[in-house]
Amino acid sequence: MAAEKTMAEVGLEILRASQSELYLNLPYLDLALCALAFLPAGEVTLTLATDGEKLYYDGAYLSDRYLRSRTGVNRAYLHVIFHCMLRHLAKKQGRDGALWDLACDIAVESILDELADSYPCLRGNGAPMRRGLYGDYRTHMKVLTAEGIYRELLRRRLPEYDIARLQREFFEDDHGLWAPESREQKEQSDRQDQKWGGMSERTQTGLETVLAGRVTGGEAVYEQVKVANREGVDYRDFLRRFAVPREVIGVDGDSFDYGFYSYGLRLYGNMPLVEPPETREEKRIQDFVIAVDTSMSTSGALVRQFLSATYSILRSTETFSTKVNIRILQCDDQLRSDTAIHDLRELEDYMDHFQLAGGSATDFRPVFTHVEQLRAAGELPGLRGLIYFTDGMGIYPKKRPPYETAFVMMESPTFPVDVPPWAIKLTLTEPELEEAVQPRPLEDDEPDLSEMPIL
């Protein structure tokens, strides 16, 4: 017992020394470096582990790591801190655990390897394999986020041997405490996620203001926390901005007095004093244009995912009208196809037989020219908006059209994209598209009007 206690004390001293050294070199991480309480691991882990509130450490592991490389302890400690700052713990739910753990480790180690170029206290092995892997992933994403790397790992379907090799290369800490099991643990995890979200936002603010341009190597940290702090986009609500008011069959809860309705039922049995209105005004999409960039720089898989999500939202009863006038255009440097959709059956048939047409350079102007011709011919009389799915690299029209236009991109483009000032630039992630497709549950105090009887 005495030996175990001594080893725990040695491990604590090593962590304290590492914390002090990192604080002196990376002062913009001061809040994060002091946010975890240090506790001996016991049976929790043989390395390092965190639940977002405590850092569990194994004294023997830290002692051996320190003897081999003092900078190795600094990297391991900061590795755990970055997991918390980028909120990797809470984002694990619903994902493949092994691939998500690996993606998070690669993302965090990419930051540490970039910082190591400026800070000797974080020097690592500098394996050429790592640099090659980072360069490979950066051809598909601007910032090496865990979410982006996770999607690449899913897409590539690497053999188990290659997955295990990457896990050995990037392993630093135990992720066993990331997935809460009980309701209490889930609530605690949510609170910790909010706390780390606040720290991450303050770190971003500090790098943008007080420490702007004065932090050596801070760009790697800034890019990651900026992406992590980006507010999520509700694609379902975004689509609704292109809808128009119209009457639909259904109960209008806002203009119906439930007091008189309930009073009549109590007084006369099954005879309400008032009946609920049989129609209500809702915003539904009718005239609408979806344009797809089919140039060589746009991934066919992403196009299909975007169209599938848009299709799932449009076909929902709260968005899609019985009769619509939707045009789906495909264009690279010239218009390749124009498909008219008038009802749900045609939309479903289009998705079942969808094929990309094109593969040249990108020019957005032919789409807008064609839409103007359709409007002049009276085929889109009530056009409210156009959504253009693209990577953003192409020739934009100079003149603003008489309808709202949004250029939608997946993640952050590899190169800076400046859309015209009159257009909307919307950057989506795959999780945001997946969430938009899911039906929304009713709130606890929200009545289900779909089950309200009309007598």
In the chain, where are the structural domains located?
2-228, 236-247+283-437
- Phi, psi (degrees; rounded to nearest 5) at 91: -85, 0
Give 175-179's long-range contacts (Cβ < 8 A, gap of 24+).
Answer: 175/49, 175/92, 175/97, 175/101, 175/104, 176/44, 176/45, 176/49, 177/44, 177/49, 177/50, 177/51, 177/56, 177/89, 178/51, 178/88, 178/89, 178/92, 178/101, 179/92, 179/93, 179/97
Lowest mean pLDDT of 266-275, 311-320, 442-451, name the range: 442-451
| CB contact set of 191 (below 8 Å; sequence gap of 6+) | none
Q: What is the pLDDT of residue 452?
A: 36
Return the SS3 of 293.
strand
Q: What is the pLDDT of residue 82?
A: 95
Overall average pLDDT of the 362-382 stretch: 92
Reported confidence tier of residue 451, pLDDT bands at 50, 70, 90? very low
Overall average pLDDT of the 114-121 stretch: 89
On the question of pLDDT at 108 being above 50, the answer is yes
Q: Any idea how long the chain is?
A: 455
pLDDT digits (tens, 9 = 90+) for 16-53: 999 999 999 988 898 899 999 999 988 888 899 999 99
Task: Between 290 and 452, name the one with better pLDDT.
Answer: 290
Spatial distance between the Cα atoms of 273 and 256, rounded to a whole number of angstroms: 12
Helix (H) or strand (E) segment spanning residue 288: strand 279-293
- pTM score of the predicted model: 0.65
Percentage of the residues of the chain whose pLDDT score is greater than 70? 77
Spatial distance between the Cα atoms of 213 and 209, rounded to a whole number of angstroms: 9
Q: What is the pLDDT of residue 1?
A: 46
pLDDT digits (tens, 9 = 90+) for 123-153: 887 678 898 999 999 887 778 889 889 988 9
Task: Between 206 and 442, name the one with better pLDDT.
Answer: 206
Reported confidence tier of residue 351, pLDDT bands at 50, 70, 90? confident
Lowest mean pLDDT of 89-93, 253-257, 320-324, 451-455, name the range: 451-455
Reported confidence tier of residue 236, pLDDT bands at 50, 70, 90? confident
Overall average pLDDT of the 264-271 stretch: 68
Residue type, 45: T
Mean pLDDT of the chain: 80
pLDDT digits (tens, 9 = 90+) for 293-345: 887 656 666 777 788 778 777 766 455 555 678 899 999 889 999 999 887 78
Task: Between 413 and 190, name the one with better pLDDT.
Answer: 190
Q: What is the pLDDT of residue 242?
A: 72
For residue 326, give the nearest of 312, 343, 305 by alpha carbon. 343
Helix (H) or strand (E) segment spanning residue 113: helix 97-116
Reported confidence tier of residue 416, pLDDT bands at 50, 70, 90? low
Say yes or no: domain 236-247+283-437 is CATH 1.10.10.10: no
On the question of pLDDT at 424 being above 70, the answer is yes
Copy the structure tokens of residue 421.
Answer: 């000032």
Reported confidence tier of residue 64, pLDDT bands at 50, 70, 90? very high
Copy the structure tokens of residue 115.
Answer: 């910082």
Q: Quick check: 320 and 314 in contact, CB under 8 A?
A: yes
Spatial distance between the Cα atoms of 27 and 16, rounded to a whole number of angstroms: 15
